[in-house]
Amino acid sequence: MRHVDNGSVNFQTRSTGIVKLTLVLAFLGIIFLGGWYFGARIGRTGVGVEGVGEQSLLTKGELRSRLAQVASGKDIFEFKQNEVSLPGIAEPVILDYAFDPSLQALAEDLLGKYRPDLGVMVAMDASTGRVLAMASSNKSFDIEGNPAIQTTFPSASVFKVVTAAAAIEQQKANPHTLIAYAGRDHTLYKSQVLKEKVSGWRRISSLKEAFGKSINTVFGRLAVFNIGKEPLQAFSNRFGYNEQIESEFPIELSRSAKPDDSFELAEMASGYTQDNVMTPLHGAMIAAAVANDGVMMQPYFLNAAYLKSGKTIYRSEPAPQVNTVTPETAKELRTLMAETVINGTSKKAFRGFFRGRFSELQVGGKTGHLTDRNFKGRVDWFVGFAQAHGRKIAVSVMTMHKKYWTVKSSYLARRTFETAFSQKKVAER
**pLDDT averaged over consecutive 10-residue blocks of the chain (429 residues)?**
35 41 45 39 39 69 89 72 90 96 97 97 98 96 93 98 98 97 90 84 93 98 97 98 95 97 98 98 98 98 95 96 97 98 97 91 97 96 96 98 94 97 54
**Is residue 407 included in any domain, yes or no?**
yes
For residue 87, give the DSSP letter.
Answer: T
Range of the domain at 236: 101-428
Q: Decide: 169 and 326 in contact? Cβ < 8 Å.
A: yes
Say which CATH number the domain at 244 has: 3.40.710.10
**Is residue 36 included in any domain, yes or no?**
no
pLDDT for res 13: 38
Question: Based on the structure, what is the number of domains in the chain?
Answer: 1
> Of all residues in the chain, what percent are helix, strand and coil, respectively (each to 5)?
40, 20, 35
pLDDT for res 40: 35
Phi, psi angle pair for 187, to nearest 5°: -105, 170
Q: Decide: 172 and 162 in contact? Cβ < 8 Å.
A: no
What is the reported pTM?
Answer: 0.86
Half-sphere exposure in the Cβ direction for 363 (13 Å, CA): 29
**Is residue 38 included in any domain, yes or no?**
no
**Is residue 291 included in any domain, yes or no?**
yes
**Is residue 152 included in any domain, yes or no?**
yes
Strand partners, 323: 295
pLDDT for res 68: 86
418's CB contacts (< 8 A; 6+ apart) are: 353, 358
**Is residue 27 included in any domain, yes or no?**
no
pLDDT for res 39: 37
pLDDT for res 78: 84
